[in-house]
Amino acid sequence: MANGKTFIDVNLAEDWQYPARAVRVRIADVAKYFKTEARSMSGCRSLAGIVGDWRPIDNIAQDCLEYFKEVNVEALRREARREGMEPKF
């Protein structure tokens, strides 16, 4: 995984639809995920173009959130506010 202050490159294994690949997840993607996708506890979710069962997608989003809290909390707060949320961190 390559990491920067505003992105994380998540390495994904080969699946039935795509070969192994890396997907860039940005702070804005994480903020949008928690605004729109993280409400229900079932079904299919998406994060930065990664689509799948809610459990692994939620794990990736949580890991990204924790990383951005450590390296760039101000930008994460700004993006959360842009999405209409009030960050509690």
User: To the nearest whole percent, how much of the chain has pLDDT over 90?
Assistant: 64
> Residue 27 — very low, low, confident or very high, per pLDDT cuts 50/70/90?
very high
Would you say residue 49 has pLDDT above 80?
A: yes
Would you say residue 28 has pLDDT above 60?
A: yes
pLDDT of residue 1: 55
Which whole number is the average pLDDT over 74-88?
93
Residue 33 neighbours by CB distance under 10 Å: 24
Would you say residue 2 has pLDDT above 90?
A: no
Residues 84, 35 contacting (CB under 8 angstroms): yes
Say what the pTM is.
Answer: 0.88
